Amino acid sequence: MKKTFNFLLLIIISVILPAQTNFTKYNSTGGPVLYKGADTTFTDSPRWDFLLASDANVVFYQDTFRLWYTSSSNPEGSQPYPGIGYAWSVDGINWTKFQENTPVFKVKPGAWDSLSVETVSVLIDSAADASERYKMWYLGEDDVTSVDDNKYFSIGYAWSADGISWTRYPNPVLEADTSDWSIDYGSIEGPSVIKDGDTLRMYYAGFSAMFNSKPWDMHFNILYAWSIDGINWHKKTDEPVLAVNSDNVWEDVFVQDPKVLKIGETYHMWYGALGSVQPGQQIGYAVSTNGIHWVRNLSQPILPTGKGNAWDNYLCSFPAVVYKNDVFHLWYTGADERFFEPTFPYSYDIGYAYDSSVVTSTSDKKRIEIENVNVYPNPVCETLFIKFDPLYYNKKTRVVIRNAVGQLVYDFCISPSCNSLQISTQSWQKGMYIITWMNHNQVASKIIVKL
């Protein structure tokens, strides 16, 4: 709630994954799927979420999409401070809000989060005790803490058995640094937490408020921390994992509010970005093989603001993504140009888009188990090695490598007697590449990154 592909990208690793090429907004021209209590006209409403519906976080659990969002009433209403609402859906489009006219998670008077709670990341932990099955990290703020007179957030933690009744940890679990050289000295925002094996990975935005002659100084960038218990976090402090990009004028002011998924062995990140060429935020996309080093989409946002008089012609950001049945489902916060009018103080609603363009095996070819092929090193600097298991690769194999925009950079057939390749990558541009190998009735692909 803070005021603050037009190219071919084939992503296939371990399993066949959708290509990030064709997000379609709901109803083609777009339209909110979850409205604030005052809908789009700000007519009088008794609902606690009168003012806005924003910062969606969605999980799919027990055959149901479950959505948490940020909202508040008008200043004279029942919930003047931002809190967390809840809704559920079977299709991701038609939502039923929590039947009681109240947030499911509120500020706590006198506590560190007495002014606002917002922008949550909810994780379903199937290994946890039933009483802590739902785990939530959220932004909190009190009314006394500031840096240079700017209010800033900390990240808190809560847990629940049902996603509705929450128990909060008493103190923040992640705070902005107090060292003036820190990459998050000014503020932190927008957590996204995933469970990766036994490790919790958090991606969040941090503002580098001091000028240290770094390209990310005085900008919001996306940072990283890790934890075992969700309470004690260890930050990566040397540099952002995704910094503002001065080469792309749609994301050269700040990047923030990431949403990260790990599918197979590939990490996917969607994030909000503000550039110098437009007043509002749009959604970008990046991919990684290790969750630390990320390769961006090229020159365009993956989900831009709407055109003309669209309801999201000013803002299209704060993504939430679920991957289900070979479809990427994406919810986002949208607002139109009335955002600037004093009678429409926020005008935020939640929209929906999807990408069902799926890269699948051609004809009757079967997918090759990725463990039968060894591709290394990844990321690669000068020389790439590919080694095939002869037990599975006993016929002529074709190896094709394309860059992120689909241009062919390598195409070679190896005989059954040869089970390895050595490929020079010195002339390749930095970025992401897709290796595809085909053997008789088998086909598979893998992402590599050139540094």
Q: Tens digits of per-residue pLDDT, 323-362?
A: 987 788 999 999 887 665 555 555 789 999 988 654 323 3
**Residue 429's CATH number:** 2.60.40.3080
Q: Count structural domains, the chain.
A: 2
Structural domain including 144 reads 12-355
- Give the domain-ending residue among 334, 355, 376: 355
Burial of 349 (C-beta count, 10 Å sphere; 0-12/13-18/19+) = buried
Q: Are residues 370 and 306 in the same domain?
A: no
For residue 139, the tally of other CB atoms under 10 A from its CB is 29
Give the pLDDT band (50/70/90) at residue 149.
very low
- Give the domain-ending residue among 355, 385, 404: 355
Nearest to 172 by CA among 161, 160, 156, 151: 156
pTM: 0.76
Q: Are residues 143 and 179 in the same domain?
A: yes
For 235-259, what is each residue's pLDDT tens digit?
998 889 998 888 888 998 899 999 9
Q: Are residues 310 and 437 in the same domain?
A: no
Q: Stretch 75-84: mean pLDDT, rounded?
A: 76
Q: Which two tokens stand for residue 20?
A: 């990030």
Which pLDDT does position 89 carry in this prediction? 92
Q: Are residues 259 and 381 in the same domain?
A: no
Tell me the pairing of strands 442-450 and 366-367.
parallel
CA distances to 17, 135, 258, 298 from 87, in Å: 28, 17, 21, 35
Q: Stretch 264-271: mean pLDDT, rounded?
A: 91
Give the pLDDT band (50/70/90) at residue 200.
very high
Of 74-88, 357-371, 418-432, which gets the smallest average pLDDT? 357-371
Q: Stretch 206-212: mean pLDDT, rounded?
A: 74
For 392-413, what is each residue's pLDDT tens digit?
556 678 888 877 656 788 988 8
Instruction: Report yes or no on 336 lying in a domain.
Output: yes
Estimate to the nearest angstrom the gap between the alpha carbon of 335 and the chain centroid: 19
Q: Are residues 350 and 418 in the same domain?
A: no
Q: Are residues 169 and 260 in the same domain?
A: yes
Instruction: Report yes or no on 3 lying in a domain.
Output: no
- Is the bond preceding 390 in cis, omega lying within 30 degrees of 0? no
The CA distance from 6 to 303, in Å, is: 10
Evaluate if residue 307 carries a pLDDT over 60.
yes
**Residue 272's CATH number:** 2.115.10.20
Q: Are residues 338 and 371 in the same domain?
A: no
The CA distance from 192 to 196, in Å, is: 13
Instruction: Report yes or no on 2 lying in a domain.
Output: no
User: 127 CB contacts (<8 Å, ≥6 apart)?
Assistant: none
Burial of 269 (C-beta count, 10 Å sphere; 0-12/13-18/19+) = buried
Q: Are residues 292 and 397 in the same domain?
A: no
| Mean pLDDT over each residue of the chain, to the nearest integer | 81
Q: Which residue has better confidence, 431 or 442?
A: 431
Q: Are residues 335 and 405 in the same domain?
A: no
For residue 268, the tally of other CB atoms under 10 A from its CB is 21
CA distances to 48, 117, 163, 385, 386 from 122, in Å: 22, 14, 9, 39, 39
Which pLDDT does position 368 carry in this prediction? 38
Q: Are residues 404 and 336 in the same domain?
A: no
Instruction: Report yes or no on 25 lying in a domain.
Output: yes
Instruction: Report yes or no on 1 lying in a domain.
Output: no
- Give the domain-ending residue among 355, 386, 418: 355
Which pLDDT does position 6 carry in this prediction? 28
